[in-house]
Chains A and B, each alone.
Chain A
Amino acid sequence: MDKTTGIRKRAWLLMFVVVALVTATCGNGADDTTTTAAAAATTTTAAAAATTTTAAAAATTAAESMTVAKVAVLVPEEPTDFGWNQQGVEGAVAAADAAGIESEVAGGLGYDAPTATLRQLAETSDLMFAHASGFATAAKEVAVETGVPVVVWGSPDDREPGLAAFVSTSAQEGGYLAGILAARTTQTGQLGIVISADDFNWTRHSGGFIEGACSIDPTIDIELVQIGEGGYADVEGGARVTAILIAGGADVILGNGDGSSFGMIRAVETEDPPAGADKVWFIDVIGDKTSIDTENILLSSILWDFQPTYLQAIRDVEAGTFGDVNYDLNLATNGIALLRTENISDELWAEIQTARDGIVDGSISVPAADTRAAAEQLLGCGA
């Protein structure tokens, strides 16, 4: 009884495996040929997308103009970080308000599974802001699937007329101005940069910062340290790394992080200033933390304002030109700006403004360091 039962049972198992494999690889032929056409087999599409049959975007016909009644913004963390997530949400909501339309916010989604939420929002939205670099691929695919256009933070190749537009940030321009500010403010002649991860935006800030500081003082000493891999929310790491930089002599710190910035701020607030300085200053990024700057250590912030760009996206969808061009946050469009706090004197601000004008009119060019290695190469002011 043993052996035959055993063999029979094994045969069952084998059958199951075969069924699984067959299903895995053959399945329904229906979808085999779908490429970029909106999948006919899928069910609901956004009501407003009924007009966008032009979703077959292989052809470059322009999208038809659409009424945009509602937009949605998706972020990976809860929008309470005074940083990327919060600024993104506030920018999108403000853009919607300016356009007189509704907005919906989906936060705390994490980094790894946005697709379900994207599809759900596509049912009720006419435009979606996939506000995280990890969301770009999924957002683009949902856009193709449902016809609802998306703004993505991925790569320039994601652009597709009527469906998707990519946003980049000329973060280095803001970094440059911050570098000038820091070089003029430091008493020890030493600056510190913290990045929470090897992130393109952080390294662009850093590269610009180094160039800006070097333009004021070629002998300036700058240290760049990374908290870890994906240390965006590593508060303890932010505090530890910043304390180390301060101990090394830096009295102005550029802090690139989301949640981790709070650790950096705390270190700036509590560590003893290095010899030769009576205070340590902090330059934040993306958001405006003035309201929570209880110890007055915030020298400035490289502000990212998403509202103008997101508003432009809404307008472009309405005009039927969405996806014809990519967007860029930069000084000229006021997507990037340096925050003026009370701690910046008039003369210094004027100097910064002059530099800003130079960048905008092209007389000053700031290289974009897309990796940490690229940023580090700029250290030493090209000596």
Chain B
Amino acid sequence: MKASDRVRTELTDENADGRASASDRRNGKTSGPSESSRTEKIRRAMLLTILPLLAAILTGGLLILALGENPIAFYGTIIDRGIVSPSGLQETLIRMAPLLLIAAGLIVAFSAGIWNLGGDGQFLLGASLVGGLAATVSDAMPRGLMLIFMLGMSAAVGGAWTIVPALMKARYGINEIITTLMMSAIGVNLASLIVKVWFLTPERGLQIPRTRILDVSDRLPTLFGTRVHSGLVIGLVAVIAVHLMMRHTTLGLRLNVLGANVKAAHHSGLKVSKLIVVTFLLSGMFMGLAGGVEVLGVQGLVRAGFNPALTLVVVPLVFLARMNGWVTIAFVFLLSVLTIGGELATRQAGLPNDFGLLIVALVLIFMTVAEYFEARRIRGERTVWQTMSDRLLARGGAGV
């Protein structure tokens, strides 16, 4: 058996739950009959999601009660606004678009054991470039062409911004947590600077520096007569494509190997340096694309200092979803519902908008606690953190 085949059978995961069965081997479990059935797995996964969600809701509810407000009304509003009401649901879906793309970028990176924490910088540079050019370019070419061009550019810029940390890691083994964070900070500043210097709109009398505004009619087309722009579809496709790629393509396999064990990657004959750079580029491209989609779909412009800082809150979602694309989509939906519904709910309850963050925090914590109990129940199985940490340990900062 070829080395790559051997590694592949160790790592290929047919049950779509993201768990590397290589770790099962390490724990002395062989594959086969000890794997639970697919329905059993799905049932367990739903339990793992719904129970902690309920626990978080309950705890949040107690807090709301303690503050003298009505928790039923609060959560009712979240659900009504975020899911039930047609206009609210549209807002939720709109909110999901950039988050999905960011999630796709994170799944690629984390699966390969690459800590791309520079998403915000990559996002903003993609956004600024698109915001700055779109209106001008749309004067010169038909909408469809302009959109493809702009989306491509935002992805390219996002990817380009990862080159420095990518090379530093690939060539010198320099820890990317630091380098991506540094590049992000620089990128945020740079994005604002280029709006002010290169892409400032010629209009006068503005209160804040910004780019030209892209006409509503030139933005990403909306779906089926709603206000939801096709960025949502791009995002969904991105996450699903990444999910499938990681499981069914050779590139995905290689990235998984890289993420699981760098030494195994070397010994399998994989060009690790090249893989590292490819991972970074892919990840950055999704981040940049997220910025482009947000501008082309919703904002239509970029103001100096624009920074929705979306990356931070997507990171735990991707972890909790165990890098599974479908689960990620569900979690992103949940987060968007909490964001959109939460704004109205906190407003009606007379609570500060930031209160919604507390609810999100509770959800994150309870979900990860649930995973602990689950892992303890199934002896020998490692939690997703342990798997991810294995990848971190395998690299240990000492270079690839």
Q: Say whether A associates with B.
A: yes
Binding site for B on A (CB under 8 A): 2, 5-6, 9-10, 12-13, 16-17, 19-21, 23-28, 30-35, 41-44, 78, 104-113, 115-117, 119-120, 123, 133-134, 136-138, 141, 144-145, 153-157, 168, 199-201, 229-230, 370
Contacts of B226 in A (CB 8 A): 41-43
- In the bound complex, CA of A233 to CA of B237 (Å): 39
Contacts of B205 in A (CB 8 A): 155-157, 168, 370
Contacts of A104 in B (CB 8 A): 347
23 CB < 8 A contacts A-B: A9-B248, A16-B237, A20-B237, A21-B148, A24-B221, A24-B231, A24-B233, A26-B144, A26-B221, A27-B223, A28-B222, A31-B217, A41-B226, A42-B226, A44-B86, A108-B352, A117-B343, A119-B87, A119-B227, A123-B87, A133-B208, A141-B216, A155-B206
Q: Is the CB of B307 within 8 A of A112?
A: yes
- In the bound complex, CA of A131 to CA of B40 (Å): 53
Listed from nearest, the 7 A-B pairs whose CB atoms lie closest are: A27-B221, A108-B353, A25-B144, A133-B207, A116-B91, A20-B237, A41-B225
Q: Is the CB of A109 within 8 A of B207?
A: no
Beyond A21-B148, A120-B81, A199-B208, whether A42 also contacts B227 by CB under 8 A is yes
Q: Determine the residue in chain B with the shortest Cβ distance to A107.
A: B353
Q: Determine the residue in chain A with the shortest Cβ distance to B309.
A: A112
Binding site for A on B (CB under 8 A): 5, 81, 86-88, 91, 94-95, 143-145, 147-148, 151, 189, 192, 203-208, 210, 213, 215-217, 220-227, 230-231, 233-234, 237-238, 240-241, 244-245, 248-250, 298-301, 303-308, 340, 343-344, 346-347, 352-354
Beyond A20-B233, A137-B300, A200-B208, whether A109 also contacts B353 by CB under 8 A is yes
A202, chain B: closest CB distance, angstroms: 11
Q: Is the CB of B221 within 8 A of A28?
A: yes
Q: Is the CB of A10 within 8 A of B249?
A: yes
Q: Is the CB of A35 within 8 A of B249?
A: no
Give 6 A-B pairs besides A19-B237, A32-B143, A109-B343 with Cβ atoms closer than 8 angstroms: A20-B238, A25-B143, A108-B353, A113-B308, A116-B95, A144-B216
- In the bound complex, CA of A41 to CA of B227 (Å): 8
Q: Is the CB of A23 within 8 A of B233?
A: yes
A137, chain B: closest CB distance, angstroms: 6
- In the bound complex, CA of A260 to CA of B206 (Å): 23
Contacts of B230 in A (CB 8 A): 23-24, 27
The binding surface of chain B is classed by DSSP as helix
Contacts of A154 in B (CB 8 A): 206-207
Beyond A13-B241, A42-B227, whether A34 also contacts B216 by CB under 8 A is yes
Q: Is the CB of B353 within 8 A of A35?
A: no
8 Å CB contact of A155 from B87, B207, B237, B250: B207
- In the bound complex, CA of A159 to CA of B192 (Å): 27
Q: Is the CB of A17 within 8 A of B206?
A: no
- In the bound complex, CA of A11 to CA of B44 (Å): 33
- In the bound complex, CA of A345 to CA of B377 (Å): 78
- In the bound complex, CA of A136 to CA of B234 (Å): 28
Q: Is the CB of B207 within 8 A of A201?
A: yes
Q: Determine the residue in chain B with the shortest Cβ distance to A21.
A: B148
- In the bound complex, CA of A105 to CA of B216 (Å): 27
Q: Is the CB of B305 within 8 A of A229?
A: yes
Q: Determine the residue in chain A with the shortest Cβ distance to B296.
A: A24
Q: Is the CB of A120 within 8 A of B213?
A: no
Beyond A20-B238, A28-B225, A43-B87, whether A12 also contacts B244 by CB under 8 A is yes
Beyond A17-B237, A23-B233, A32-B221, whether A134 also contacts B352 by CB under 8 A is no
Q: Is the CB of A9 within 8 A of B244?
A: yes
Beyond A17-B241, A20-B234, A78-B353, whether A2 also contacts B250 by CB under 8 A is yes
Q: Is the CB of A24 within 8 A of B352?
A: no
Contacts of B86 in A (CB 8 A): 43-44
Q: Is the CB of B225 within 8 A of A30?
A: yes
Of listed A107, A154, A156, residue having the most chain B CB within 10 A:
A154
Contacts of B231 in A (CB 8 A): 24
- In the bound complex, CA of A145 to CA of B208 (Å): 24
Q: Determine the residue in chain B with the shortest Cβ distance to A138.
A: B299
A6, chain B: closest CB distance, angstroms: 5
Q: Is the CB of B354 within 8 A of A108?
A: yes
A106, chain B: closest CB distance, angstroms: 6
- In the bound complex, CA of A109 to CA of B353 (Å): 7
- In the bound complex, CA of A199 to CA of B207 (Å): 7
Q: Is the CB of A120 within 8 A of B237?
A: no
Contacts of A42 in B (CB 8 A): 226-227
Q: Is the CB of B217 within 8 A of A33?
A: yes
Beyond A25-B143, A120-B91, A157-B203, whether A137 also contacts B240 by CB under 8 A is no
A192, chain B: closest CB distance, angstroms: 24
Q: Is the CB of B303 within 8 A of A134?
A: yes
8 Å CB contact of B347 from A25, A33, A106: A106
Q: Is the CB of B344 within 8 A of A120?
A: yes
A23, chain B: closest CB distance, angstroms: 5
Q: Determine the residue in chain B with the shortest Cβ distance to A1.
A: B5
Contacts of B299 in A (CB 8 A): 112, 137-138
